[in-house]
């Protein structure tokens, strides 16, 4: 039996596999960016499904549900598995964006927003810079290969039609979501602490020299200190991103194991 005969005989199973792959391309960083055309994402999902289908069908021997309602439920389950992988991967970049918002607020860029083409939303200035730098590091360090590897491994951890909702999954997702705040504050801490010390110094200066207009001096000083500290910590930020992306891959495995 050649590949095309196999595909014709198991078209329903192929569509389930394609649904899981497509779910990843909806939310995952880099692959799910809005500036990547929808037709390109759909074609890439189809290509991945074609590569995976003979292997998954051979080793798992899956039979699609016979009823319409059963098949719709299976489609939704596979879409959820792919969506879950993309969501856990996106949480790491949400932490980066949150860190940028905190830095912007402290440095005086809170009212400055730029349009981010990858998400189609307005983002703060430093937040957009850190996010785009994170995407570059993600691609350079083969983070997109990690997403593809997680897709392949997902069929071992959660076979097609083998996903079972577990009560621990909402708690795991909630824990990952609360990690956005803690990880974002870790990234923003150097700039935030430096500007805090600057504000303390300006407050002491305002008490000792009441005739000085502290607002005229303070705003440019906050901006200068924020940019200077951000420039100094950028090499460490890149190293931190490597650790963050490795943790992201581990979180994807934890989330998938909750569906077994």
Is 23:79 a contact under the CB 8 Å cutoff?
yes
pLDDT tens-digit series, residues 29-76:
888 777 778 888 888 888 888 888 877 766 556 777 777 788 788 888
Q: Rounded to two decimals, what is the model's pTM? A: 0.82
pLDDT of residue 5: 52
Cβ neighbours of residue 150 under 8 Å, at least 6 residues apart?
Answer: 85, 89, 249, 252, 253, 256
Consecutive 10-residue averages of pLDDT for the chain (260 residues)? 53 83 84 80 86 73 74 86 88 88 79 69 80 87 85 84 79 87 88 86 79 74 84 87 86 85
Tell which residue, 9, 23, 82, 13, has the closest CA to residue 53: 13
pLDDT tens-digit series, residues 126-152:
888 888 888 888 888 888 888 888 888
Q: Give Cα separations from 84 to 152, 216, 241 (angstroms).
A: 14, 49, 21
pLDDT of residue 56: 76
């Amino acid at each position: 039996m050649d590949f095309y005969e196999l595909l014709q005989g198991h078209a329903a199973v192929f569509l389930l596999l394609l649904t899981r792959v497509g779910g990843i391309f909806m939310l995952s960083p880099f692959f799910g960016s809005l500036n990547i055309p929808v037709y390109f994402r759909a074609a890439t999902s189809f290509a991945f499904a074609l590569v995976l289908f003979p292997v998954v069908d051979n080793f798992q021997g899956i039979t699609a549900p016979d009823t319409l309602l059963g098949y719709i439920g299976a489609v939704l389950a596979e879409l959820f598995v792919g969506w879950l992988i993309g969501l856990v991967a996106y949480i790491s970049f949400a932490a980066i964006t949150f860190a940028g918002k905190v830095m912007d607020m402290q440095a005086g860029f809170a009212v400055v927003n730029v349009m981010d083409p990858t998400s189609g939303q307005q983002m703060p200035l430093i937040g957009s810079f850190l996010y785009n730098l994170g995407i570059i590091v993600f691609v350079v360090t083969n983070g997109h290969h990690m997403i593809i590897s997680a897709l392949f491994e997902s069929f071992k951890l959660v076979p097609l039609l083998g996903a079972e909702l577990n009560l621990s999954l909402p708690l795991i997702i909630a824990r990952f979501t609360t990690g956005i705040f803690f990880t974002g504050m870790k990234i923003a801490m150097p700039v935030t602490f430096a500007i805090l010390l600057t504000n303390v110094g300006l407050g002491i200066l305002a008490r000792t020299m009441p005739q000085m207009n502290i607002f005229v001096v303070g705003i440019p000083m906050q901006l200068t200190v924020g940019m200077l500290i951000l420039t100094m910590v950028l090499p460490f930020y890149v190293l931190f991103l490597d650790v963050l992306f490795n943790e992201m891959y581990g979180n994807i495995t934890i989330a998938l194991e909750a569906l077994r």
